[in-house]
Structure 1
């Protein structure tokens, strides 16, 4: 019985350590990083690609873990985060801190081994912005949104530099798409959980300027996303297939935001906007990569 209890305890601890990394965010980082690799593979071969993705997962997971350490007291005030391993008491702060630091220290050598110095430096910049600027800025200013979006868009750029060792137009275009998408995505989350963010002391836009003004701000973020989504066409990377997807998805998101800001403020409308954004990003990136592959293979489109 004691052996079974000990085994269960170890499994629960391992599960808590995994949840510290915020696996869904790690998956998003891997998806956008891989999109970058597929857009500009350069001389990155499969073994190095896998090592690169492992390094990216480690850096993202470590940053998320250390973020939970820093924000543990505020997490305890929000119903959506109070069950996380640290505020719930399932993991000690010291354990989470050591785990995050160890994971970060192992991930950067892996990243450098599989790619190049430029990509490694970009990874360091993303981590520094996330932990050193975005996280401490959240309780002070809604401008943290713009800083966090930079950190979150860098992995896509890193995917393009991993095999090319240079920052090219396609990488900057992908960075712009991810940056603009995150602005509307995280502001939608802030609107949905405005009361909880207020209670925790986070100065997000809905707390500072109200939900209606924040909804109007999302309209401009959707316009920015539409412009960014068209940027691969300007650099000559894509064709008609991607043009149709970029315009269709961007128009739909913008229409939802205009309708919502115009008076439809129900929780259902907020949720539709949020879910539409979640679906739009993978569809946009998949279409982008597919279109480029078809063009390079002399497909008639």
Structure 2
């Protein structure tokens, strides 16, 4: 009997092992302590890592099966956030690449010279919308030219410490992408100038782009004359601004371009002397590399600084600016010439850097003084007209004629032929010449 009971007990144990009880599952289930009595489990299995996990239990016969499902709502919410972050990073990356390709700080200097030329060419009334459009178009064209310059000089920039971290040498952007960016900016800027300004300004912008990207850039690896070609490129933007405002090119419009041309040579000579090693590594044919002593480099810089001396007097003599600008411009030219003279007599890196910093200070002060002391057309014409009124005594017949002309519409009036047409003196292409005299 004892043997029969032992056999039945072993059979029951085997049946329990093949069909585990629900209570036995509950005791060994590794479920989190937040699920009521399941927390009193003696199992050593790791608990769930997320409190938000849901548990689904189903019973099939004597078995109970529990399945933990992941938090689908959290994943759906985090997907748009991750995509937005990727888009933001992408926009930040390409914005930084476009900024460096465009050489934005240099392009802003070009825009400043173009805007100054526009204001000088506008006379007494400034079209601010036209000024903004001219500056925007100039910025686009300058960005395109600088981008193409880097496209053509990828290998050269990769050898120079000063430029090896640019977008193209560092591989942050591809060359076809940079070409597409430059082409779009060049076309958009030229089209904006043609539509909002005039075709003369658009033609100057397009020609400057071609001259910089396809003449100056390859010439840097061929001959030292590239510095003088680059000075011509830098002198065109103020002429562009004048043409956009007035629609023509006159002798007065050459004042600021002449200042920029002569200014760029000491500026670039100082830079070329300071960066001689980089230019050698990059394979550029700069003027300073063929001048080991630096004497000719310093003499070219001093000579062009001296060319800046008469510009203030010419601006005053031509009626562009007042006499105060003549004094200020002369003092500025003497200051930059003194730094060039120090560099000529003692050709050291310190003196070259001093001349470079003086050139950086000269240009904004010169343009600012030209804008502050510029002469307006209405002031010039009023001065000439007052002098003529003092020289002539009005007669009764002339007074009657003035009353008759005032009663007629403006579009039907004819200029008086009894005295010089001083009203035309301000728009003459050569204002320093005497006003034309029309006789009866």
Give the TM-score normalised by the residue count of structure 1: 0.93
CA-CA distance at 1:186 after TM superposition: 1.3
CA-CA distance at 1:170 after TM superposition: 1.9
C-alpha spacing 1:152/1:134, structure 2 compared with 1 (3 Å): same
CA offsets 1:148-176 (integer angstroms, 9 cap, x no match): 11111101011111121110122111110
Q: Distance in 2 between matches of 1:195 and 1:224?
A: 29
Specify the alignment match of 2:315 in structure 1: 232
CA-CA distance at 1:68 after TM superposition: 0.5
Specify the alignment match of 2:107 in structure 1: 26
Give unpaired runs (5+ residues) of structure 2.
Answer: 1-80, 384-440
Q: Distance in 1 between matches of 2:375 and 2:357?
A: 28
The answer as to 2:335 corresponding to 1:252 is yes
The answer as to 2:238 corresponding to 1:156 is yes
Q: Distance in 2 between matches of 1:179 and 1:275?
A: 17
Q: Distance in 2 between matches of 1:295 and 1:243?
A: 19
CA-CA distance at 1:5 after TM superposition: 4.2
State the SS of the aligned residue for 2:373. helix
Specify the alignment match of 1:243 in structure 2: 326
Specify the alignment match of 2:31 in structure 1: none
Specify the alignment match of 1:11 in structure 2: 92
Instruction: Give me the CA root mean square deviation.
Output: 1.9
CA-CA distance at 1:292 after TM superposition: 1.0
CA offsets 1:116-136 (integer angstroms, 9 cap, x no match): 111111112211111121111
Specify the alignment match of 2:197 in structure 1: 115
Runs of 4+ in structure 1 displaced over 4 angstroms?
A: 293-298
Q: Distance in 1 between matches of 2:376 and 2:134?
A: 25
CA offsets 1:171-229 (integer angstroms, 9 cap, x no match): 11111011111111111111110111011111111112232321121111111222445
Q: Which residue, 283, 298, 304 being the options, matches 1:221?
A: 304
Higher mean displacement: 217-226 or 92-101: 217-226
Q: Distance in 1 between matches of 2:88 and 2:239?
A: 42
Higher mean displacement: 153-162 or 38-47: 38-47
Higher relative contact order (CA 8 A, sep 6+): 1
Give the TM-score normalised by the residue count of structure 2: 0.65
State the SS of the aligned residue for 1:292. coil
C-alpha spacing 1:218/1:86, structure 2 compared with 1 (3 Å): same
Q: Which residue, 371, 381, 394 being the options, matches 1:289?
A: 371
C-alpha spacing 1:227/1:194, structure 2 compared with 1 (3 Å): farther
Q: Distance in 1 between matches of 2:361 and 2:226?
A: 25
* Preserved contact between residue 65 and residue 97 of structure 1 (Cα < 8 Å): yes
* Preserved contact between residue 39 and residue 170 of structure 1 (Cα < 8 Å): no
CA-CA distance at 1:30 after TM superposition: 1.0
State the SS of the aligned residue for 2:324. helix
CA-CA distance at 1:81 after TM superposition: 0.6
Specify the alignment match of 1:36 in structure 2: 117
Q: Which has the larger radius of gyration?
A: 2
Q: Distance in 2 between matches of 1:152 and 1:219?
A: 19
CA-CA distance at 1:248 after TM superposition: 0.5
Specify the alignment match of 1:51 in structure 2: 133
